[in-house]
Structure formats: structure tokens, C-alpha cells
Amino acid sequence: MPIRATAEEYRQIDSVVSQLDSIVIGKPNELKLAFSTLLAGGHLLVEDVPGVGKTTLARALAATLGLHWNRVQFTSDLLPADIVGISIFDVTKQSFRFHEGPIFTSLLLADELNRAPPKTQSALLEAMEEHQVTADGTSYQLGRPFFVVATQNPQEQLGVYPLPESQLDRFMVSIELGYPDSLSEREILSGTDRRELLDNAEPVMTTDNLLYWQAMAKQVHTAAPVLDYVQALLAATRQMALDGECGAGLSPRAGLSLIAMCKAWALLHGREMVLPEDVQAVFTSVASHRMAGSLRKGLPLSTELINTVNVG
Amino acid sequence: MFNRKANNNGSLATAASRQLTSQTQRILGITVLLSQLPLLLHLPLWLSLPGIGLVLAKLMAKPKDQFSIPPALTIVFVLLSAIAVFFHYGHIFGRDPCVAFLYLLLGFKFAETRRAYDASLLIVLCAFLLLTQFFFRQSLFAAILSIPAMYFVGLSLFALQRGLTKTDTRTMVHVTARLFLQAMPIAALLFVVVPRISQAPWGGNGSGDGQAQTGLSARMSPGSIASLSKSNEVAFRVEFNGQPPLAHERYWRGPVLTGYDGYDWFILPSNTRAQATPNTNGRKIDYTVTLPASYQPWLLALDTPLAAPIAINNNKLLINLNQELQIDTATPVDQPLRYQATSILSDRFTPATPPNTATLLTTATNPQARSLALEFRTKHASDAALANEILLWFNREPFHYTLNPPKLGDNSIDDFIFTTRRGFCEHYAGSFVFMLRAAGIPARVVTGYQGGEMNAGYMIVRQSDAHAWAEAYIDGQWRRYDPTAAVAPQRVEQGASDALRNDASRSFLSRVDIPLLDSAKLQWDKVNFAWQKMVIDFDSTRQQAMWKKLGIEKPSGWMIVVALIAAAALWALIILKPLSELRREPLPPCEKQWRKLSKKLAAYGFAKHQSETYTSFVERACKQWPQYQVPLRSIVESYHSGMYAPEGGDPHHHQQMAEQMKSTLRKLKRMR
């Protein structure tokens, strides 16, 4: 018998969403997707130009959920040790001591991930998948929750190492923030400084709360008709790949991600069951980057699928 | 007695002694009424009205009054009605009195029915009573009339069992209708396969039972054919092998009337068979006649018949072609008969033996006609010229062809040809034959039909085509003379209805041409004829022919039973598990309700796109019908909850949601 959250508890989720909304203006859907990714235990890839609020998003999440966060700016000379950490010889103790890198945190903002060489990228990706890092033959467990928000800059194509599709699969969700609409922009320009807001933001949730909600998200029910629909969508992406319209069909792992995302999305909306509209709401963000290597290229394809595959 | 037994017999018996609900009572009442209805056509009114009245009285009575006749009184009533039936019919063992008595008993039985076991008996009786109407008539109309009653018999049976299952009325009506339709092929198979009985079970000759007879008779008096002509009933139908005869060749030979008593012409009994084929020339024509039961011992054939026709569906009937070329049957035709005949289309023939003296017999009456004939005789030595002279005379003098001739006195022929001069074919034929005989030429009256209407490949001959003409023995040949044609030539070329178009005695409807009505009548006749040929005429002979065609010489009873069981089992398999259901699982109740909503909205041209979610579809609908936002949203919520909620909880959750959807859907009954 699954444990059911009370209406009182659900209010906590609502207040997280509303606080996020008040910090990042005019992006309610993207915020919900980001929060859902966190609830689903996945990682988030943001494809966007600088200055549209990627950092603000990550920081807002961290501040609202009471998470410790770190930021790493990826460059072409960044080494794996710069992320994971390094063993330093402690002269006083006559032994090596592991100096934890920025990855040992709850929320890691990996800025411009595609600028780093593949070796460094894969160090991060291993940590994302395995929830542990290895340095000098020793494995170190990462804490929970562990949430990576990576950004890719799609405009500068010089001197970048674009993530291969197989690696992109590690990101549960990719979103695009985009420029705010004029009303929201006016509010940003005229209102209080975001940084000030972030500094003053009180956490609405504790880490324990977040882990509880992550557990709850797993318990959201997906009925057979929903699974039918998900399978139909997966099959359609594979057909598309066969027809040469996109790079790759969705893997079963992607399917699992999609289900997890649907569950988190449903939970976010106070439901104990996944509805077809949940699938539709998250599908493009889960599928696009996997199908075409980037959100930009994949979005029209995944949208087409949503508009053609039969619901129920 | 039944009561005590019932009470000792546990649950089943208590079900049988259960009181009927008022609804079951009503259904039973309608069943009884519908079963009685067809018999209204065949029973006297004094009997049929009380029978229906008993049922109506019980139906109308308020349930709490418990209308019922005390048992002692019932016995008295039943005895009284038995006596009444006996007095009406003069006997009690026969088709009519038995049916009448059963009809009345059914009314009494219904009036005293209160319990389930009474009702089961009543239903069986209803089914039997329904059958009895076919003792009278086996027409398509009778069959159609019995369909609603059969359905209600099924419905009553269902209603009796319903107390145990709590089915709602709508389901009951639907299920019964489905069972009814599903049973049809089996019924049709039973009809084809079960051995046919070639004789009616009550012993054949039903003509004594007060059957109304229309058609030609053995006697012809002035006015008898005219009154027959007013009937539009079908006399018989004919299918031709090859070209049908032309209008002036359509002389259907019936009784030949040689006898004359001064007023009536009648058949002189003649047992002599035609010794040899009559000698005649002309086109030979083969045809099949379908004759309804005429209750007369003769058949009709085109002039001139060559030999006795061969009955197709009755091999026991003896058919003779007698010397006068009248086709006699040994017994009256008391069931529909089909026979094949061959004729030569000719108006004269040479008989095997010369005519006997009876064909010259006249009476002492009608002196004026006699003297006129003798006057003609002196002018013409030749018989043919004399006959023509008389015809010419009819044509010249102001004779009038009418269905409504005035009354004639004792010297009826004198009255007619010198005074009234208004008459129908029998007047002309009778006068003509009288005058020929007076002039010493053997002659006789032939009655039958003249005409016929083609209807999609077969010909309908009606009673209104009834006709009488004359035959004279001239130069060793019997020659046909139609004095009516001398007076009203269009009678032969266009038929009686055209010739009498302006006759005042005909009803308004038959005088006016209504093409649509006429063609509808012809269509109906076509259907009736098909029914006759395919259903009524399907007798043991045709059944055996069918078996032979299938390569079975004579199937044994066991073979038929086994084949029937196999066919029924196969059919049951088909209808119990439709192929589509074998492949597909049944729809969940919520999905069913959802489809109802979709159907409703689709009726307003509003449909869900394939890839649209239920929520956005309903939101779209809400925009179109803002007044129904609440129920529409509630439906989609229930649907989601029913279809997608975790199964672990309440096992009835889905059903409850479906019920909710159903009740909300009812609120949407009339969307605009």
C-alpha cells in the first residue's frame, strides 16, 4: 500500500514552485521541468546563450530547496581532477589526503560543458550516472541528492567538444530558457536585483523533504494505457530513426527517464497517477536532445510525434 | 393442489408461486392481446370482443383491486361459453369451435393469473393460439401479424425469470430482441429441414367450416358474374414459359354451362373424359398456375386446354379434362394449388364426339327471343352467318354494357334483349346461346376469366376479370363467340375495368387511376406471390426435391436431428462468441462511457484529435459549451481516475467512476 501524501504536504511543493516563479520571472514551465528533473532524480541540460538566467535558475533551485551548490566553468584546459578533486600529500600526517573537488555538492552547475575535452566531460558523466567518483583508484560516494545542471552554448561552435548522443542520454531533460517575454523582461529590469533576491531567499524545503518527495515521485502510478502511450511514442521515435529523419530512436533507458519524469511531473501537479497529458508535457524535453543531439534540432521532431501519435 | 406441491419444493417452487409484479402482468396482458388479435379476422364478434374485454378489464384494473373472477364463477362462465360456441357452430369438434373455445379460455386464464406458474401456462397457450390463425390463412400478412406477439411471448418469459436476476427493463427489452433475432436462422432452418406434413392436421376438407367463397360457381344467373366482378381479389396467378398470350387471347376456361332451366345456366354433370386430344391449331403455350384455395371442383386453363394439367404440389388430387374441356378435380380445391398446363391459343376446336342433345335444349319461355332467332334462321342457311347476324344485331341495337343491370322478369332473356338492354357478360352470353339453340345450333355458355395483368414476369388474374362467353358447334367445330365483345369491344382488349370506367356502380376509387397506389398494390402482390411460392408451397414434394438436389435420397429422422443439433451448435458458437470479441478484450466501463460522450459531442461535429489528450479535448468542449463546464470536467476527472488510478486500492473504484460518468452524462442529455 503506497504512502499517500496529504494535501498539507502537497502545499510544500506548491510553495517551492511559487518561490521559484518569483525569482526566475516568466519561465514557469521550464522551472517546473527543472524541479521535476530534480524530483525524478535526473540531471538537467540547459541549452542557451549566456545571460538568460541559467545560473539564476540553478541558484534559485539551490536556495529554495536549501541545497549546497557549486559552479564549475568548463574550459578547454579543464582536467578531470579539477572537478573530482585531487589527492594532496599531507606533510604533517605523512599521507595523501583526498581534497574533494566541486563535484562534492548537492547541486552542481556545470557551465558550458561542451567546452571541456571529452576526458573531463566523461569524468562528470560517470559521476552523474554512477553517483560516485574515482580518484587514484579510490571510489568516493557522492551525497544525495545530487543534481547536475549543465549548460551548453549552442552558438559558439569553435573549439567545442559537442557531447555525443550516447552521453547526452545521461541527461534526463534538456530545456531552453530563451529570452523572456516583454512583460517579464520589464519586471526583471525594473524589479529588485536577482542576486539580492537569491541572497534573501529562505529555503522552503530541507534536504530530507526533498528525498521524501523523490521517493514519493517513484510511487506515482502509471496505468497500462499510459504505458501503452509511452511505448507508442518510443516506437515512433525508432521508426523516425529508421526513416532517417533523426539520429537515434529512444533507448529503453530514455523510456525509463520519460516514465520517471512523468511521475515527477504528475506529483508536482498533486496527482498520484500519470495522465497522458503528463507524458505530452515532458516528452519533448526528454526526447529532443536524445533524438537529434541537441534540443534545437530535436524539438520539431518530438513535437511532431506528440501531434501524431494516438493518445489512448 | 399445485400450491401445496409448490410450497414443499424449496426455492424453485417458491419462484413459481411468486406473485407477479404489475409490470409482468402488463407484459403478459399485451402478449395475450397480441395473440388474440389475428383471430379477430376469423372469429365472430360476439366471441372475440368479450375475449379481449376480459384481458383489457384486468389490465385497466388498479393493481390493488386485484381484479379476478372467483374460481366457482369461472367454471360457470367457461361452461356458458362452451355452450355458446356449440350453438353458434352447431358442433364442438372442429377447427372453428375449438379455436373459438381456446380463444375464450385464454381470456379467462389471464383474468385469473396471479402467480408465476399460471403465467408460464398462459404463455404456452398464447403461443398455441397464435398458431391457430394459420389454420385459417397462411398469408404473409398473417405471418407478419404474429411477429409482435412472438416477441412478446419471449418478453413474458424473460419477465417471469427476471425477479431472480434484477435486470432492468431496458436490458430485458434489448436482450429479448437480440435473442429473437438470433433465433430466426434456427427457425428458418427448422422450417426447411423438418419433414413437412402434406395435409392440414384437422383432416383436410375445411370447406364445410363456413369458408367464404368467392369465384365462379356451378350456376350462373343474370347478375352473378357482375357481382363477382366487383371484387378485386386475386383469382389466380400464372407464370408463362415464353411469351404471355395477347390481351384478346386471354380466355381462361372454367365451368362449361350446358344446362338451362329458363333462368339459370348450370353445369350438367358429365363424367366422360375427353376421349382424345381436341383437335385445334394455334400457338402452343406452357404455363404454371397458382390457384388459391377455391373450394370448387374445377381448375382454369387458357382456351383451348390440350390435356389435364399436372398438379405440382399435390400429388393426391385427381384432375380430369372432360369432354366439354372443363377441367374437373375429384375433390374441391381446399388448399393452394400449383399446376402446370398446356394450351393451344385458339378459339375453336374439333371435339372427339359430336355434341349431345343437351346443347340444344331450351325452355318454353322467352317467345320473343325465340321468334327473333327463327326470323334470322330464315334469312341465313349457314350456321356461321346466322351466329354473325346475331352478333351484328347486338352491336347494332342500343345495348349497354354495365355492372348494374336492372332486374329482369320471368322471361328474363326477352326482358333483356327487348326492354332493358343493359347487361353484363352473362346476359349477353346467355341470350346469345339461347337464341342459337332456338335456331337449332348446338351452343353452351362457358364461364371463366378474360384478361389478366402482367406484373414482373407473372400474370395476375382477378375476380374482376370474371367473364362468360358462348360456344357454338358449327361445321363440326366448337367455336368461341363473345357477344359481350360485340357490345363493348374494349372489354376484351383492355379489360373489364377500362370498359366500365364510367359505370356509376363502381366505387369512386376503382374508377380513378392512382398510379402510385396501383404500383404499390402490384408490388405487394409480388411479395405475396413470392411468399406463396417459397413458403406456402414448400411441401413434402418440394422438400424431397431439395434433399435430392443435395444428394440425399431420403434423409432419416436421426440424420435430420443430428444435422439440426450440429447447425444449432455452430450457430450458438457464432453468436455467443463473435469473432471480434475473441480477438479484443471487452471495453472497460469507463472507456464505454467515454465513448458515449465522444459520440454525443461528435453529433455536434466535435471530435477529439487522435493525438489530443482527454483534458485538452474537454477543455475545448468547455469553450464551446461554457454552460456545461462543470459536468464535462467532472466526466474527464472521473475517467482519468477510473482509467489511470492505482489498482491497489478499492477494487470497485473503476466501476464507481463509470457510474459517476454515466450519471453526469445524463445531465448532458440535451446539449445545444
- Which residue from B611, B643, B647 is facing A306, i.e. has the nearest CB? B611
Query: In the A/B pair of chains, how many CB contacts fall below 8 A?
Result: 50
Using one digit for the tens of pLDDT, what is the confidence trace for B199-234? 555 444 443 343 445 678 888 887 777 777 777 778
A1–B contact, CB cutoff 8 A: yes
Question: Tell me, what's the pLDDT at B455?
Answer: 81
The whole-angstrom separation of Cα B574 and Cα B562 is 18
The verdict on a CB contact (< 8 Å) between B613 and A275 is yes
The whole-angstrom separation of Cα A130 and Cα B180 is 69
Cβ(A145)–Cβ(A38) below 8 Å: yes
* Signed CA dihedral, A255, A256, A259, A264: sign only: negative
In terms of Cα–Cα distance, which of A41, A55, A32, A180 is closest to A112? A55
B616–A contact, CB cutoff 8 A: yes
- Quick one: DSSP state of residue B465? G
Q: Cα distance from A231 to chain B (closest Cα, Å)?
A: 14
The verdict on a CB contact (< 8 Å) between A273 and B646 is yes
A308–B contact, CB cutoff 8 A: yes
3-state secondary structure of B356: coil
**Chain A positions in Cβ-Cβ contact with residue B590 (cut-off 8 Å):** none
The verdict on a CB contact (< 8 Å) between A275 and B611 is no
* Signed CA dihedral, B474, B478, B484, B486: sign only: negative
From residue B77, alpha-carbon distances to B32, B70, B80, B83, B109 in Å are 19, 11, 5, 10, 12
State residue B478 phi and psi, 5-degree precision.
-85, 120
Question: Tell me, what's the pLDDT at B354?
Answer: 81
- Which residue from B611, B641, B646 is facing A309, i.e. has the nearest CB? B611
In terms of Cα–Cα distance, which of B105, B97, B291 is closest to B210? B97
User: What is the length of chain A?
Assistant: 312
For chain B, the structural domain boundaries read 2-193, 220-515, 550-581, 585-667
**Chain B positions in Cβ-Cβ contact with residue A280 (cut-off 8 Å):** 613
Of all residues in chain A, the one with the smallest CA distance to B608 is A311
In terms of Cα–Cα distance, which of A113, A105, A234, A238 is closest to A170? A113
**Chain B positions in Cβ-Cβ contact with residue A275 (cut-off 8 Å):** 613-615, 640, 644
B378–A contact, CB cutoff 8 A: no
* Phi/psi-derived region of residue A155, left when phi > 0, alpha when psi is between -120 and 50, beta in every other case: alpha
Q: Please measure the distance between the N-terminal and C-terminal CA atoms of chain B and give it in whole angstroms.
A: 62
Question: Tell me, what's the pLDDT at B286?
Answer: 92
Of all residues in chain B, the one with the smallest CA distance to A271 is B645
- Which residue from B611, B612, B646 is facing A2, i.e. has the nearest CB? B646
| Run of H or E including B601 | helix B589-602
The whole-angstrom separation of Cα B246 and Cα B264 is 32
Question: Tell me, what's the pLDDT at B147?
Answer: 92
Outline where B343-446 has alpha helix (H).
Answer: 367-379, 383-396, 412-414, 425-438
B651–A contact, CB cutoff 8 A: no
In this structure, the number of other CB atoms found within 10 A of the CB of residue A181 comes to: 11
Question: Tell me, what's the pLDDT at B204?
Answer: 43
Of all residues in chain A, the one with the smallest CA distance to B591 is A312
CB < 8 Å from A in window 596-615 of B: 610-615
In a 13 Å sphere around the CA of B198, the CA atoms on its Cβ side amount to 12
The whole-angstrom separation of Cα B602 and Cα B487 is 71
**Chain A positions in Cβ-Cβ contact with residue B613 (cut-off 8 Å):** 275-277, 280, 311
B645–A contact, CB cutoff 8 A: yes
What residue type is assigned to position B436 of the chain? L
- Which residue from A223, A306, A311 is facing B644, i.e. has the nearest CB? A223
Of all residues in chain A, the one with the smallest CA distance to B650 is A1
Residues contacting A215, CB < 8 A, separation 6+: none
In terms of Cα–Cα distance, which of B366, B349, B373, B496 is closest to B425? B496
Cβ(A120)–Cβ(A101) below 8 Å: no
For chain A, the structural domain boundaries read 27-204
A221–B contact, CB cutoff 8 A: yes
Q: Cα distance from A226 to chain B (closest Cα, Å)?
A: 8
Of all residues in chain A, the one with the smallest CA distance to B639 is A275
B211–A contact, CB cutoff 8 A: no
Cα B457 vs. chain centroid, distance in angstroms? 20
Q: Cα distance from B616 to chain A (closest Cα, Å)?
A: 8
Q: Cα distance from B653 to chain A (closest Cα, Å)?
A: 14
* Signed CA dihedral, B279, B282, B285, B291: sign only: negative
The verdict on a CB contact (< 8 Å) between B611 and A273 is no
Which residues of chain B fall below pLDDT 50?
Answer: 1-13, 202-212, 511
Cβ(B186)–Cβ(B568) below 8 Å: yes
Q: Cα distance from A272 to chain B (closest Cα, Å)?
A: 7
- Paired with A241 in beta bridges are none
Among all chains, which residue has been given the C-alpha cell 459549451? Answer: B625
Threshold 0.90, pTM exceeds: no
The verdict on a CB contact (< 8 Å) between B648 and A223 is no
Of all residues in chain A, the one with the smallest CA distance to B642 is A223
The verdict on a CB contact (< 8 Å) between A225 and B616 is no
Cβ(B262)–Cβ(B430) below 8 Å: no
- Quick one: DSSP state of residue B415? I
**Chain B positions in Cβ-Cβ contact with residue A223 (cut-off 8 Å):** 643-647
* Phi/psi-derived region of residue A94, left when phi > 0, alpha when psi is between -120 and 50, beta in every other case: left
Using one digit for the tens of pLDDT, what is the confidence trace for A32-73? 898 899 888 889 888 877 778 888 888 888 888 888 888 888
3-state secondary structure of B228: helix
- Which residue from B611, B615, B645 is facing A307, i.e. has the nearest CB? B611
- Fold that domain A27-204 belongs to in CATH: Rossmann fold (3.40.50)
Q: Cα distance from B650 to chain A (closest Cα, Å)?
A: 11
In terms of Cα–Cα distance, which of A258, A233, A272, A312 is closest to A42? A258
Task: Give the mean pLDDT per block of 10 residues along chain A (312 residues).
Answer: 65 84 84 89 84 83 86 85 82 83 86 84 83 82 86 71 77 86 85 79 84 86 86 87 80 90 89 87 86 75 80 73
Q: Cα distance from B580 to chain A (closest Cα, Å)?
A: 20
Question: Tell me, what's the pLDDT at B470?
Answer: 92
Cβ(B601)–Cβ(B623) below 8 Å: no
Of all residues in chain B, the one with the smallest CA distance to A305 is B611
3-state secondary structure of A105: coil
**Chain A positions in Cβ-Cβ contact with residue B610 (cut-off 8 Å):** 308, 310-311
Q: Cα distance from A237 to chain B (closest Cα, Å)?
A: 15
The whole-angstrom separation of Cα A274 and Cα B362 is 109
**Chain A positions in Cβ-Cβ contact with residue B614 (cut-off 8 Å):** 275-277, 311-312
**Chain B positions in Cβ-Cβ contact with residue A225 (cut-off 8 Å):** 643-644
Cβ(B433)–Cβ(B444) below 8 Å: yes
Among all chains, which residue has been given the C-alpha cell 576526458? Answer: A119
- Which residue from B610, B615, B648 is facing A277, i.e. has the nearest CB? B615
Q: Cα distance from B174 to chain A (closest Cα, Å)?
A: 30
The verdict on a CB contact (< 8 Å) between A1 and B648 is yes
Of all residues in chain B, the one with the smallest CA distance to A274 is B644
